[in-house]
Structure 1
Amino acid sequence: MTTDPTTETTHAAQETGRAGTRVDTATARVQVDLDAIRANVAELDRRAGDANVLAVVKADAYGHGLVPCARAAIAGGATWLGTAQLGEALALRAAGISAPLLTWLTVPGSDFAAAVNEDVDLSASAPWGLAAIAEGARRVGKPARVHLCVDSGLGREGAYGQGWTELVGAALRHQAEGHLRVVGIWSHFAYADAPQHPTVQRQQERFEEAVAEAERAGIRPEVRHLANSAAVLTNPSAAYDLVRPGLAVYGLSPVPDVGAPAAFGLTPAMTLEADVALVKRVPAGQGVSYGHTYVTSEPTTLALVPMGYGDGIPRAAGNAGPVLIGGQRRTVSGRVCMDQFTVDVGAEVRVSAGDRVVLFGPGTSGEPTAQDWAAAVDTISYEIVTRVGARVPRVYAGSVAP
């Protein structure tokens, strides 16, 4: 018997959420459109030209769910995956995902042997990292695959200035001993979301100088990579051999001042929704929630939404966060609490307990978007989607099995 993949995928998710919560007992949920992720990656692949796509699935795939989104990204044409933390890379391997995989944020004591054993590429920014990776490789009995990170101007990860020369020299020594192979050189932009900023060109120049220095010393990288989501969308010259989109994989614009997702052929994949827990009439002059920062101006109806900062709703969204409820856009009324917030839905709007409230989604049905929430609380959409807590179950729809 043939099953509908969309139904099967959603049913599987309804059994258990990301944190083991049964969706049918949850008061809120995240709907994740895996087909949107697949289509977004296909669009990013098209824009990358001859470069391959490394889909960044760090931070539980930006809050969307690590393994299901990794599979959707591969279905869309990503040939690599990337995580910041080694634990997530190992989780992908444990799930049976065999695609080339890079992880870049390790500390002394990280399990480099496990990474080498599972064919996870590792990044190194300092000689100590190379030594630790080499020791892990020696224990496993096969060479590690290493990407050298150069600080081209971000002032964060990567070897800076003379440190790059020292890192290259150390890599060559470990490579000669047979414990590792340098397969990549990479860096990261500071201002890719401002394409005309002068640092963008300067960082590209510094990156190319660093690659040339390494090649003169005898390193032959398989891939050079610099471009993040913003650069993939706005700066084709930074594609090199591999691009590393993150936010754009999930359909959000990393450059909202330049264009919304639709302008780049992207569709937001996450919808955050909840069920109304309580509706009640209150008189004019009634203070709402802690501190009474919102006071009703007339007799009205309050709707209680069972989500709060314990679920990742910004506390700063009090009297600011937008929602779609009763078919209308409304704003959080009063302070956001740990588990709940209140919305003044007005005297005439008919809302009942159990009705659906949409905090954000693609925006195609009048609901707010993650970017709307970011603007309301003075942050970025990256933070809005990644902060949705683990007790909010993820429900997957689409033709890509989670």
Structure 2
Amino acid sequence: MRKLSMLFAPLVFSVAAAAQSADVDRLADSVEADVIAWRHHLHQYPELSNREFKTAEYVAKFLRSLDLEVTTGVAKTGVVAVLDSGKPGPVVALRADMDGLPVPEQNDLAWRSTQRGEFKGQDVPVMHACGHDTHMAMLMGTASVLTAMKDQLKGKVKFIFQPAEEGAPPGEKGGAEVMVQEGVLKNPDVDVIFGLHISANADVGTVSYNPGGTMAAVDPFKIVIHGKQAHGAYPWKSVDPITTAAQMIMSLQTIVSRELKLIDDAAVVTIGSIHGGNRSNIIPNEVEMVGTIRTLNHAAREHVYEAMARKVKGIADSMGATAELTLPLDYNYPITFNDPALTAKMLPTVERTAGKENTILAKPVTGAEDFSFYQEQVPGLFMWLGGKPLDVPVADSPAHHTPEFYVDDSGMKLGVRVMANLTLDYMAQHGE
């Protein structure tokens, strides 16, 4: 009898999931106009990292209207709401980020941003130039849908609206790392977390995913080379830190090109800034370089750490100089790592929601996301949602973090449906 029930279990789940999906579709249709209106408001009034005060008030007011248990001031401006079904089951977390960027909007929209903010002591324009406005609006829509389907839930849903994904201002801490430190994944303890990021370069109606390392770890570094100053006409009297820096830059590139197995995972070592000297005829005493490392698996990350230290010391020694390597420099992000078992388990949900033809296995990217801090603690799945209008060629689609950045409203309803169905299906599979 037990074998027979196990045989029919997938069929029973499939029928139930289809029925729930129909409810999700109906409710997503009914809330779409609200999602668009929320997105327009949030886009028109963006705020910078760790300064999302009015944004947090707007989100919290809506969540309270759903009679959810709402906590504010998490990691400074974060908002967390809990939907309790009253039935035993897992705790599913859903995350959206809230901060805008110091970018001047150049789109001709009725709801374009004209807001200003302070960044590094300067008055700057502020824009949602990475789609965080859509992330919030979609999660608000998902909260609305799941609250209406409370009787079909098994367990709890934790809605996380996170500040400072783009990085806290200098001298401050923020984002997912601080939310985790302040217990966002506890009380109730989260079992799994899902997140979506809108993409201006992927067609509306598509969802892209990648099991394992999907976005890179970020490790900024600084190298200070100490030499011996001399007149530029008498270089033999110097220990030249500029020549040493030149050799070091070229050698560091061979970590990726000659030491890592690039057919498995990409990696990047970039020197972004170099400073040394102030006159044409003086060899300076010191050179400072800063850069970034991007890796997509733990072994590569560890190898780059070891190789950086080895090469910096070896080249400095060979030139008679000394060098100090600070790695990581001031912050670092882990790898955004999609749990392979969780990804495989939830893939049928995504395919059922978006359609198999619109569910795309994507290559990993060397950009980064602090969603990775949640995934260090609990299994997580982070995916890309298409936001590019179908009539716009990819070559003409504006890049993220630019004044022309734009994603279409029509892509958000799928995001609501995906997040709601992931929650319902995971609960159905793990509910007591």
- TM-score over 0.5 for the pair: no
Instruction: Give me the TM-score of the superposition, normalised by structure 2.
Output: 0.26
Instruction: Give me the TM-score of the superposition, normalised by structure 1.
Output: 0.28
